Amino acid sequence: MLSLKALQKNKTFRYGVPMLLLVVGSSFGLREFAQIRYDAQKLNKKLDPSLAAKVNMEKQSVMLEEEFEKMKDVNLDDWKNIRGPRPGENSREYQEQQRMRRTPES
């Protein structure tokens, strides 16, 4: 059996075991601190009941079929891509120029 002096001279026991304990222990410590953070965020996210009801109604009111019906009626054949202004260009002047070029064909 190894004596206490032999264990103190062993590099694995002297440096490896404390390092292993530090790594494993810190992962558990980080988990606890992160859990505290998420619990605090959950408490701060609670909404006013009237506001929460309004948000839920907005989420429920949008249906995929309704959006499809809106898009089905849009005429995409006459659509033309107009690029936005580049840095340094006057956006209003450029948009007016693009609109003038985009006259409907008769």
Does residue 104 carry a pLDDT above 60? no
Element (H, E) at 34: helix 17-44
65-92 tens-digit pLDDT: 777 888 888 887 877 777 777 788 777 8
Q: What is the pLDDT of residue 106?
A: 43
Is the pTM higher than 0.85? The answer reads no
Domain locations in the chain as residue ranges: 7-76
Q: How many CA atoms lie within 13 A of 28 on its CB side?
A: 5
What is the average per-residue pLDDT within 8-30?
90
Tally Cβ neighbours within 10 Å of residue 13. 13
42-72 tens-digit pLDDT: 877 776 777 777 766 666 566 777 778 888 8
Q: What is the pLDDT of residue 64?
A: 75
